[in-house]
Structure 1
Amino acid sequence: MIGRRILLAAGVLFGAAAFAQAQIDNGLPGPQPLDAGSMILNRTLFEGIMDRNSKVRSASAKPMPAGGYLSYRASSKVRQKVTREYLARAEKAYGKPIAEGLRKTLGAIDFVATWRRLATRDGLRTGDLGDSVTAYWAVNWLVANGKENSAPGQMQALRRQLGPLMASNPGVRRMSEAARQEVAESLMLDTVVLAIGADTAVQKNDPAVLAKLRTTTNDRFKQAFGIDLTTVTLTNRGLAKR
């Protein structure tokens, strides 16, 4: 079951928590280096798939193979670029002190390894754009709906739902391997930071902070992908309309 809880040492957590709080306070600016919505084609198509899933698709269907259009071999150069540009966006949005705290956090952890601990229990893996997008969608759905964990099988169902949309998208098919890694790892990094932000809000035990986190998370996702996460539910067939 994928969950949004990530346990880090207190000193490591501090910088990420401060950044996460700044995101909560200021509206969670999007991290994507490219137009995230283009990876999922369009809202109308996705909603059509949700309609069909609610009536037809079986949870026992086999997971879709990653395929050459979604998989990538990771490059340290691209990963450094992802981190550098993420920090630059953080500094521009929230100022140097917040960005510096986040920089120290990212220097103390391997965000890809942290993401792996979060996602691999559900069969999601690094080196695959589809799996990165799946985890990103799932954690955003959990946070926007005030949930902590998904149920067994739901991640692979969501992966089966999203994978064909991305693999059939001409924009994705034209991506270089480096571009796939850049998008995937930007989403992985933001997934980790969002999970830390959710933990921070829960630890504060402040209903107003939690409500704002849910709202800002949903607003950002809706802007990027055109989907209101509070109007859908995560099931053993993927996302479906409530």
Structure 2
Amino acid sequence: MRRLTLALVGMLVTVLPTDAQDYAWQNFAAQDAMNTLHIQLLRQTIEGSQSPGGSAPTLGASETVTTYSTSRQVSAKAQRQFLDYIKERSGDAAERAVAGIFAQRAPQDMWAELVAEDGLAPGDAVDPMVSYFALNWVIANQQPDAEFSLTGVQRQVRAAMQSDPTFQALDDAGRQEFAEVLMMNFLLQQAVLSDAYVRGDTQMMQELAEAAVARFKSEMGIDLRTLKPTSDGLVASAS
């Protein structure tokens, strides 16, 4: 990963909540898919640690569609619900500020610029999940300068999606929602972490790390601090 976390995202950091460690999935069709995908990702991290040097399990590409076409209507819905989440957490002023930023530049375009050098791009729900998973590993382990290939993580996430019947049931709009909500969460967390890193705010970095660890333990049963980047993705370290 080529230092995903070091680029500030415009003025986002000035308006986003400092406890930026929650999903904003309320009322999305993709909510159930995100919840069940956690279980599949847990299985992938365990299997990867049990078979060092092997490839992450995959299914035929035709068995599960992970790509999506982009609809302005779906993007508008996702952004509106995300802004409602910002308003709920941080107030009217924060919501207006973020809305102004999104009006100037679409969040999916900001995300795409940040992750392009890591080989990630819009149009496939795998890639936003990869960036989100990797960023939270960086946050949890407090390694903002970490550089590692995301190819293994891509295989790992794709295998998890291919094993998840709830994700398989998503239609094109559902896959787009899934991807774009992850992108906006990524931007939120990346902006806060970048600001803390640039300012040398070790307390904020520690708070973000603890929040990431707690959430992944609660929702996925994964301890991000026990994972290590490998050619098979982020897998559990040998005990």
Which TM-score band (shorter chain)? 0.7 to 0.9
Change (3 A) 1:216 1:184: same
Following TM superposition, by how much is the alpha carbon of 1:199 offset from its aligned partner in structure 2, in angstroms? 0.9
Aligned length: 231
Q: Tell whether the 8 Å contact from 1:145 to 1:229 is kept in structure 2 after alignment.
A: yes
Partner of 1:4: 5
Partner of 1:23: 18
**Paired residues for 1:102-117 under 5 Å:** 102-117=98-113
Partner of 2:43: 45
- Flag structure 2 segments of 5+ consecutive residues without an equivalent: none
Change (3 A) 1:127 1:238: same
**Paired residues for 1:1-242 under 5 Å:** 1-2=1-2, 3-8=4-9, 12-13=10-11, 16-20=12-16, 22-24=17-19, 28-32=21-25, 33=28, 34-35=31-32, 36-42=34-40, 45-53=43-51, 55-58=52-55, 69-152=65-148, 154-242=149-237
2:24 is aligned with what amino acid? P
Change (3 A) 1:67 1:77: farther
Q: Tell whether the 8 Å contact from 2:40 to 2:163 is kept in structure 1 after alignment.
A: no
Cα shift readout 1:104-136 (whole Å, capped 9, x = no counterpart): 222222211111122222222211111111111
Following TM superposition, by how much is the alpha carbon of 1:41 offset from its aligned partner in structure 2, in angstroms? 3.2
CA distance in 2, matches of 1:89, 1:173: 27
CA distance in 2, matches of 1:109, 1:229: 32
SS in structure 1 of the partner of residue 6 of structure 2: coil
Query: Scaled by the length of structure 1, what TM-score is found?
Result: 0.84
SS in structure 2 of the partner of residue 4 of structure 1: helix
* % identity of equivalent residues: 23
Change (3 A) 1:187 1:112: same
Superposed CA RMSD in Å reads 2.6
CA distance in 2, matches of 1:19, 1:57: 44
CA distance in 1, matches of 2:144, 2:61: 28
